Amino acid sequence: MSDNRKGYTPSNKPPLINIPQPNIVDLLTVLAEKADPFVKLLSTAINGWQEGKKREASLQKHMSWVALTVVLVVVGVSAVLTYVGKVDGSTFTFLLGLIVGYVLTFIRDQIKGPGE
């Protein structure tokens, strides 16, 4: 067997170069340094998401109270007008049916979500 490299013979092997290989501790140290910004970004994003969910729950609670107030005012005013004789009793019954349907739909959406 002949080798095309000049000056190479089996007894004339090229010297082996000792390259230090990284150990697991070095690799973990480098990974930890690189992961720190990612962990900070991820924790910031999660904290922002949680704060958004808290604000959303607070807004839903507020809107529920506003809706309840409007419904009670409408029912109260229409009940007074029906009692006085300005609104027919069947109209008042129809209005109550609409409001009950609205309340049931609102409650269903709060339990299941509007898209389900």
Q: Is 7 left (phi over 0), alpha (psi -120 to 50) or beta?
A: left
Q: Report the SS3 class of residue 37.
A: helix
pLDDT in tens, the chain (116 residues): 555 556 555 566 666 666 667 778 888 888 888 888 888 888 899 999 999 888 888 888 888 888 889 888 988 999 999 999 998 999 999 999 998 898 888 788 778 876 66
Q: pLDDT at position 60, please?
A: 82
Task: Read off the DSSP letter of residue 97.
Answer: H
Domain locations in the chain as residue ranges: 24-111
